[in-house]
Amino acid sequence: MPTVVLLGTLDTKGVEYAFLRDRLLEHGVDVLVVDVGVYDPVGLEPDVSREEVARNVAELAAAADRGAAVTAMAAGAEAVVQRLYAEGRLDGILALGGSGGSSIGSRAMRALPVGVPKLMVSTVASGDTRPYVGAVDVTMMYSVVDISGVNSVSARIMANAAAAIAGMASATVPALEAKPLVGATMFGVTTPCVTRARERLEELGYEVLVFHATGAGGQSLEALVRGGFLIGVLDTTTTELADELVGGVLSAGPDRLEAAGAAGVPQVVSLGALDMVNFGPRETVPPQFEGRNLYVHNPTITLMRTTPDECGELGRTIGRKLSAATGPTVLFVPLKGVSMIAVEGQPFYDKDADDALLAGLHETLGPSVEVHELETDINDPAFADAMADRLHELIR
């Protein structure tokens, strides 16, 4: 029988968690309730008490500092769920809450391996969920109404959540043929390249995990590299570095493009979508960027062309990162465009910016990095095949 862990603040949400527990039991799963509140539980007795989550819980209650309490209980919850998982007593985890409860619950969920079912019912799920989801598979469900009692709306939402996590915890994964894993990065404007390269690598016997370069995608790729899951990386789309440099909304952080190099994992890298910085709807573009070359990709995404100065700095950054790699590292440069809208005749074609990117690369690239400059754009099938074949050679 699978076990679902219910993680919540029973001092304020005990009635709701009792309702959730009963729904889960109806679905034939075992339930472990973990209390991450700082005051006495109301309406439900936990299986793991708040004192087991944080030894200083009495001090936290006396101090009445909500921020400190959330931070301490989140850290304790992370340790508890890791222990329960290691003991084989956690097959899925469910939590509900507002911003505080979501911070505690999602931190514990992010500490669990990818593939462990994780469901967070939250009042903040209709907004920016990146701080809660991070780079793992946390499922967020919007609560619609505040989590305050069991009513005709919240009962339906919570019943759905219980059914969902019970189903996920009970699900089995069919056996798949074991193949060596390779990671690749893709964006809409580099899709033809990565699709062709993926197909080529699959022909060569690899399973290819493709990550959407939206910030979280790059973080997920690097997390799997650090975890030892990947034997090679086809980092075609390094656009997240542009968002980190300029201030776009899809940054993967300052450490992007470093995990494979630090781990010595063979990597073939390109410059996909470095012609652009990402923002939300057109009206959300910061005022200091008015007058720049902006392109409305769709109603929710506005792209901004990187300037020659920005491209020069991006080139120098990539050169430094790749030169520091401890494993085989190859850079492929498409001289006729780094995205489908950066080729001649398209809105982001800018020869000066492309030249600055190449010049910046050559300033910092060390002799340990093998460089191929091809007279194609990034989505040319020949470019994709060349990258895939070279990665295969490095791995072999």
Predicted pLDDT at 175: 83
Q: pLDDT (tens digit, 9 = 90+) per residue, 193-224?
A: 999 999 999 999 999 999 999 998 999 999 89
Q: Answer yes or no: are the C-beta atoms of 117 and 169 closer than 8 Å.
A: yes
Burial of 156 from C-beta contacts in 10 A (0-12 / 13-18 / 19+)? exposed
Q: Answer yes or no: are the C-beta atoms of 36 and 80 closer than 8 Å.
A: no
Q: pTM for the complete prediction?
A: 0.79
- Which strand (E) or helix (H) includes residue 7? strand 3-8
Q: Is the dihedral of CA 66, 69, 74, 80 positive or negative?
A: negative
85 pLDDT more than 90: yes
Token duo for residue 164:
């969902």
349 pLDDT more than 90: yes
CA distances in angstroms from 124 to 73, 101, 179, 322, listed in the order given: 19, 10, 39, 38
Percent of the chain scoring above 90 in pLDDT: 88
Token duo for residue 125:
């799920």
Q: Answer yes or no: are the C-beta atoms of 276 and 294 closer than 8 Å.
A: no
The pLDDT mean for the chain works out to 95
Q: Which domains does the chain have, with CATH numbers?
A: 3-170 (3.40.50.12020), 181-395 (3.40.50.12030)
Buried b (16+ CB within 10 A) or exposed e, 326-353: ebbbbbbbbebbbbbbbbeeeebbbeeb
Number of residues that this document lists for the chain: 396
Q: Are strands 92-97 and 294-298 parallel, antiparallel or unpaired?
A: unpaired
177 pLDDT more than 90: no
395 pLDDT more than 80: yes
Token duo for residue 244:
């980190």
